[in-house]
Amino acid sequence: MFFLRENYRHPEFRKGFRDMAGVAPGIAAWGLMTGVAMVKSGLSVSEALLMALTVFAGSSQLAAMPLIQAGAPVWVILATGFCVNLRFMVFSAHLRPYLMHLPRWQRLVTGYLSADLTYVLFTQRYPQPGEGEAARRAQMAYLAGNGGINWASWVSSSVVGVVLANFVPTAWGLGFAGILALVGMLASLASSRMRWVSAGVAGSAAVAAFALPLKLNILVAIAAAVAVCLLLESRLAPLKPEEAAG
């Protein structure tokens, strides 16, 4: 979608590009270590390059690597990737009103290019779907610029990691830079009590359920945060806005 003229010529395209550029180095470091991990887990260079160029899902890739190295059944690897990526069902449900005016192929491409930071920055910039053609075009241009540099930084760094796998030791821990980028975005979004509660509940649940197999602690964290926040919203809904805020 970032090759569409109406997107890359729009001022919001450059705005989305600049917003993501600030965290792109962290994403690139994470992608570099993912490329290294793919080769060191036993994949051939050609297999690792194929995954780097087609699979745009860093967390599930990292979760799958130890399972591939251990010779786990394919269904276990696929189930792990599915569980780790369940959060994108929440993202897609939230983004649906923004995208339903687009042709199907553009919705599919947008879904493929949407990642954690893409979603965070976009919804921070546009809390509500635009009304009217001009507003929708601006939103799509921003999302294209945002997602474009995110995808490019991840894929290019993953390819570099595959090529240089024997020269970049995993002990460098460069993947932690990606985690720091996510933590920074989380801190910037914690602008209300409800968001602080959801982050706290999700973090606590993820740690408490860490021993679960197949990274199911992530699913538990999402479910716990959603359930608690829905319960709190139902209790606070009858109150006046100032009472709920206090």
Q: What is the pLDDT of residue 177?
A: 57
Strongest mean pLDDT among 6-15, 67-76, 81-90, 167-176:
6-15
The CA distance from 221 to 205, in Å, is 5
> Does 115 score more than 80 pLDDT?
yes
Higher pLDDT, 73 or 139: 139
Is-contact 89 219, C-beta < 8 A? no
Q: In this structure, are residues 61 and 33 in contact, taking their beta carbons and an 8 Å threshold? A: no
DSSP 238: T
Q: How far is the C-alpha of 138 from the C-alpha of 7, rounded, in Å?
A: 8
Can you give the three-state secondary structure of 11-70, one letter per residue? HHHHHHHHHHHCCHHHHHHHHHHHHHHHHHCCCCHHHHHHHHHHCCCHHHHHHHHHHHHC
**Does the pLDDT at position 244 exceed 50?**
no
Share of the chain above pLDDT 90, in %: 11
For 184-233, how does the pLDDT look when each residue is reduced to its tens digit (9 = 90+)? 656 666 667 887 888 899 889 989 998 887 667 777 887 888 888 888 87
Tens of pLDDT along 71-104? Answer: 778 887 887 788 778 778 888 888 999 999 888 8
